[in-house]
Structure 1
Amino acid sequence: MMQISESHLQKNSLFNSMNRFIGAVNNMDQTVMVPSLLRDVPLEEEREMAALKSSGNSDIEDGDMYSYYQLLKSIRCDIEWGVMRAEKLKESRGPSSRNDSKEEESEVSSEEDEVNLQKQFQFHMTGLHGVLSKLTQQANTLTNRYKQEIGIGCY
């Protein structure tokens, strides 16, 4: 019990990062009453969003706030329901090149067995925490931009 309450109070814990992100996306979802108003509204060229656009993410190829809104909601769903569920949904929508990637995964997994698992875990935890922090900030930015677009304020 003591460990759970201590980790819950950790500001930089993964659990708290996920909760902050989910809370920010929930707030965004509750604020954005008419998501279609976000169509054709360009993303603000802030550092975070510019970096995301330049990373070549196919989910936001339109480059408007609506596609970014959908992306953030999709990531929230993956966190809440699990990535495996999302992959099953994608597979049920149509054929993909999953067979080729499974062969590559088996070759890579044998090599990964030799790597120190603790280092891998720390590396991925650090990366996930950083990504969740950036996504939380971007969900808050999108919410504020929506409020500005519809004239609510929050300047």
Structure 2
Amino acid sequence: MGVAGCGKSAVGEALAATLGAVFVEGDRLHPPENVARMASGEPLTDELRAGWLDAIGRRIAASIADGQRVVAACSALKRGYRERLRGFCPDLRFVYLEIDPETARRRVGSRKGHFMPASLVDSQFATLEAPTADEHAWTVDGTGGIADIVATILGELRTS
């Protein structure tokens, strides 16, 4: 979880491959209306995110029900969003990939073919509620290399 440009997709794919898990890309589950809004520079409201979060939660729950491990990439910017996802899977753990606004703007601005414009980065930080200790979440520096971030997450998984 984290703001746009923090590395959720790249880290999630690498972690899923390492764990032999299914990877759920949350961005692919946005309804077309949400994608169009964001592409035009309009941030999503809580109401617009609700169905999207439910789609991710259902996909995670279905994978677990099939006996699979699952890693999902999803911004989950607010505590309420994370609680909504936990409604589908109470044991869900979050990894918060923490980055600064300048790094996020630079990364998002350099992406090719993604609907999220760099102009929305500030709205992501304005919405962000970093996870607290009671949320079963780990905060990891998202500015490192993917392999280093995955190694850190694996270390957390081994000790939890």
On whether the aligned pair clears a TM of 0.5, the verdict is no
Structure whose CA Rg is larger? 1
- What TM-score, normalized by structure 2, do the two folds share? 0.23
* Higher share in strand: 2
What TM-score, normalized by structure 1, do the two folds share?
0.23
